[in-house]
Structures are given as structure tokens and as C-alpha cells.
Structure 1
Amino acid sequence: MNVKLNKYHGIFPAFYACYEDNGDISPERTEAFTNYLIEKGVQGLYVGGSSGECIYQNIEERKIVLESVMKAAKGKITIIAHIAAPSTRESIELAKHAESLGVDAIAAIPPIYFVLPDHAIYQYWTDMIEATGLDFFIYNIPGTTHYNLSMDLFKKMIRNKKVIGIKNSSMPAQDIQKFKAAGGEDFIVFNGPDEQFVSGRIIGADAGIGGTYAAMPELFLAADKAINESNLKLAREIQFAINDIIFTVLSCTGNLYAVFKEILKRKGMNIGGARLPLAPVAPEDEPVILSLMDKIDTAISKYAKE
């Protein structure tokens, strides 16, 4: 593989939005959380995506987030900025802003709300790609966009040399195999669904981007290390522990990000809550949160020893 692409290997937490207690974007907490994840040993960050609650932030807020991340991270780890917005005009503005800050790459989901044909999606992505000289990652996440990237559009997109990879968040691991096979050795595939990190990596993903990584980066780093060392038994054990945590979180009344932010707060990393309409942590979540904290600490102690 092209050594220039090595910077896109490893564990990339999908960065959580960091708010003040009143709900405003917090530059200080954003910088602190960036440093926290860098110290954990992650290889990069994916900023401004679903976990970053981008759909509930305006353009200026999204710029502040990325500026704050880059202030702490520039030159230390790889930064991929998700720059998709409701309109092409806004997406291009975010793309140019990201380039001005020195990010490594940009990424984008397909257009939201309206169900558009492939040729319109192609133009949407191409317009933002051509607005900068940055690497570009397609983001396929049919669970939220209700559009599953077709192989025809995928093959058309990768004719553009700036399109160097895809973050694939469709659940069939087979999709990773298809994208990797069509893209070739020098095409980066990020596994999206955290529940299938190990299976995604084994079937062809080069790295992972995930929404639960930031709350337990140690476990994903340990799973990735086990895969790289061909210790598949250990990798599977870690994945089972991760999935137990994820399935437990999903039993809460509060949104997944709200719950994980509450856990981080109790561990000393206060980045605020989740922005409405994402459901906040509820009183009935308390015993589940205590259980989750124990599960995470126990798994880290078992699998992520120095």
C-alpha cells in the first residue's frame, strides 16, 4: 500500500460535540477533549460527523469546533473533517474552511432529506471535492441517510483521484469486501459499525471510525492491536466486551451520546450533554450508567494493559 496512506490506518474516534453547561459550543472543552483522546493513543479523529451532532449545529458552530480541534491536534494526529451540510453551498464553505485549517482530509454523507438520484449525489460530492485540494472520503451510512451507496455510483466516484477512501457504516460486513475489492489496495476503507469492528477489519477494512470509540478508546486500540498481531481469539473476546457495553447503552432512555458523555463527565472529562432533540440522560438511567462504568473499567483492565 502507498505509504502516504498509512496516516489513515488505526483507530479514529468520531469526535463528540463539546458544549458549555448552557448548551453553547465550548472551545475550551473541545480542546481538552482533543488532548484527552490524543493522550489515549488514537491515530486520528473524525470531526463533525453524526457523533459530533453536526445536523443540530449551524455553519459557524461547526467551524468553531474544527478550529478548536485543530488548535490542539494539528501536526500530532490525522484529522478528517466531515463537511456535508444541507446545501452544496454550505458544504463547499465548510470544505474550504477545513482546508484553511490544515486538515488531512474531508468527508461527506450524501444529501439529506430529499431522496435524490445518483447523478445528483455525484454532483453534490464532486462540487465539494473540486473546491479543495484535499483527500476525500465517501461516507456511506444508510441507517440515517436512507440511501445505500450503489456500486455504480461508487465506481464512478473513485475515478476521481482525490477520492481515496470510504467510511462504510452499512451493517453487512460484505459491503466492506465489495468496496475494498473495487477500490483496490491503495484505497482506504474505514469500518463504521462499532459492533462489527473486528469482522470489518478481518474482511478488508484498513481502519475504523466509530461513535463509541471516544468513550472507550483503549478497547478499540486493543482490538486493533490484536488483529494486527493475528490474535483473532483475543480480538473476538474484546469485540464481545465492546458489544456488551454498546447493547447496554442502547437500553437507556437517554441518547447514546448523552449517556457516554455522562460517563466521561464522571471520569473527569466534562464535555457537556447532547443537544436536543437528542434525549438527555434520565433518572432511570442511573443504575445502567453505573453498570456501564463498571463494564468499561473491567474490560479496560482486562484487555488494555500497558
Structure 2
Amino acid sequence: MRLEKFHGIIPAFYACYDDQGDISEARTNALCDYLHEKKVNGVYVGGSSGECIYQNLDERKAVLSYVANRLKGKMTLIAHVGAPSTRDSITLAKHAAELGYDALSAIPPIYFKLPDSSVYKYWNEIIEATPLEFIIYNIPQTTGYTLTTALFEKLLANPKVIGVKNSSMPTMDIERFKRVGGDNVVVFNGPDEQYVAGRIMGADGGIGGTYAAMPELFLQANEFFLQGKFEEAKRIQSCINDIIIALCSQNGSMYAVIKEVLNRRGVNIGGVRGPLEGISTEDLGRIDSIVTMIDEAVQEFCK
């Protein structure tokens, strides 16, 4: 029962900047309010969608603070604290614990190719720095490190390790991790393009970078799955995938395009931070069609 608060749809929270490209408390609050109104299950703060790699320690601490001040007690809060150094990761972990987050999460160490022993030590030192529960973040396509079931099982010996956010593409990985952990762990589907497939293979919910662009569709996909309406779930996943392909097919980065989609919804959270590319003039007209795709899918499936 204690793990149920981590089930369902948990959007990855976006970086919210002012017009000068600095972290904006007001715009962070606006995104918090928007997601709360949409009734998502929680938020995953400070991860890839939060552009954490391009923010300094003080900025990341500020974002964690703003979100906690706005949403604590209203939904599940997971703080991503992975950083280039163990020291900075622990600093972020302690800050999140003080703010009252429900759990921590972290990618493995990046840049240097490290052995399992180093990765285990890194994660374990973060875990032992606070009383909070911990969710491993497996995203080999960006970190270059693939979590094995053997290391996962070793980490699960620590009772504070409650699951894994699995963003590798094979759905088999979800099945393998769930088989190792059983009902005592939460496995999150990471790739948004396979949310329904991930749920069928054993995922308890999802954390995704496009959820906040179309929360209604992912919430409805989750409902279809829970109701056993698998044909409907497949159809809505197909529409979601069409939208994701469009989001990723513009000149600007996917996150820049998503932010403009949100801007059309009245939620201005600024642009993206370099080296991510902002939207181009040519993108603007095409984003209109993406907004229409989302609206039509919501109208079709979320009656």
C-alpha cells in the first residue's frame, strides 16, 4: 500500500525560465498549478526534462524548493538528484529531504565509463545520505550505462530502494526488473512511446517527458489499461506516438516545442537553455498543427 502513491501518471517536470533564461519561480508555480489541475499522480523534478545537466547546483536547489512549496501534500514528489559528482548529488538529496519530497532518484554517474562497483557506491552513498526512499534511473541511451538485473538485485538489499525508472527501449527490461523485485518494487515505464506496452509488461506507472504536453491522453491511456480495454489503449497509444513524432520532427528541440505547446495553453514557462535549440520561425506554424492533433485526440478519447 505504501508504494501506491508512486503508481500512475507522473510527468517529468520541465525547466521554467524567465525571458532572460533564468529560473523563474512564477513560471514554475504556473506549471505546478497546471499539472495539479490536470490531476496527474505526481511530478518528477530535476531530471532530463528539467534540463538538470545545464543547471548549476543553486538553480537545481531553487527548482526543488519552488515545486515543493507549491505541491507538497497535493501529489507525489520525486526529486532527481543525479549530478556529475557524488558530493553535489548528496547536497541535492539532503535539500530534497528537508523540503519533504517523497523519494529520491538519480541517473548513474556520467562522462567517465565506470565499473559496476563505482556505480553501486555512487547510488549507495546517495541512498544513505537521507531517510528518503530511492528510485534508480536507468537511461542507457544518454548515460552510456546499462543497469543489470544483478546490480538491481544487489541494490534492492537496501530497503530504501523501492524501484527503477526504466527508460531503456526494450520492454523486456521492465519485465526482468519487475520479476526481480516483484510487488515490493515500483517499476516505471520511461519511454513514452511504449507506455501501454510497458504497463502490460509489468510497469506500475510511468514517468515521461511528454506527459505534461498531453496529460489527458496519458491519464486516459492509464484508465484504459486499468479497465482492461486494451484495444482502446492501443489506439490512444498510436495517437500519442503520432504526436511524439511531430514533437521531435521540428527544428527546435522536443522540449522547446513542448514549451510552445504549453504556451498556446496559457502556460508560459519560457524557452530552453543552450545547447538545446529553441524553436524556429518555421516551427511556429507546424506547432499549430501539433496543438490541433492533441486537441482532436483529447476530444476523441477523453469524453
Question: Which stretches of structure 1, 4 residues or more, deviate above 3 A after TM superposition?
Answer: none
1:214 aligns with 2:212: yes
CA distance in 1, matches of 2:196, 2:76: 22
1:166 equivalent among 156, 164, 167: 164
Counterpart of 2:151? 153
Q: Deviations over 1:81-136 (max 9, x none)?
A: 00011100000000000000000000000001001000000000000100000010
CA distance in 2, matches of 1:191, 1:244: 19
- The 5 A counterparts of 1:157-236 are 157-236=155-234
* Residue 148 of structure 1, CA deviation: 1.0
Tell me, what secondary structure is at the counterpart of 1:184?
A: helix
1:277 aligns with 2:275: yes
Equivalent residue letter for 1:145: T
Q: Deviations over 1:250-297 (max 9, x none)?
A: 110100000000111122100000111101001121232111011001
CA distance in 1, matches of 2:155, 2:184: 15
1:249 equivalent among 247, 268, 280: 247
CA distance in 1, matches of 2:110, 2:254: 22
Counterpart of 1:286? 284
1:67 aligns with 2:65: yes
The question of whether the paired residues in 2 share the 8 Å contact of 1:249 and 1:288 is answered with no
Report how many aligned residue pairs link the two structures.
303
CA distance in 1, matches of 2:37, 2:248: 28
Q: Deviations over 1:181-218 (max 9, x none)?
A: 00111210000000000000011000000000011000
1:89 aligns with 2:87: yes
Equivalent residue letter for 2:109: P
Counterpart of 2:295? 297
Unaligned runs of 5+ in 1: none
Q: Deviations over 1:118-177 (max 9, x none)?
A: 000000000010000001000000110011111221111111110000000000000000
CA distance in 2, matches of 1:287, 1:265: 14
1:54 equivalent among 52, 66, 69: 52
The question of whether the paired residues in 2 share the 8 Å contact of 1:111 and 1:121 is answered with yes
Tell me, what secondary structure is at the counterpart of 1:153?
A: helix
CA distance in 1, matches of 2:184, 2:300: 35
Tell me, what secondary structure is at the counterpart of 2:183?
A: coil
Counterpart of 1:238? 236
Equivalent residue letter for 1:18: C
Equivalent residue letter for 2:220: A
Equivalent residue letter for 1:280: G
CA distance in 2, matches of 1:8, 1:168: 14
TM-score by length of 1: 0.98
CA distance in 2, matches of 1:19, 1:90: 22
CA distance in 2, matches of 1:165, 1:288: 38
2:114 equivalent among 109, 113, 116: 116
1:4 aligns with 2:2: yes
Tell me, what secondary structure is at the counterpart of 1:254?
A: coil
Counterpart of 1:29? 27
Counterpart of 2:38? 40
1:104 equivalent among 96, 102, 105: 102
2:11 equivalent among 10, 13, 26: 13
Equivalent residue letter for 1:46: Y
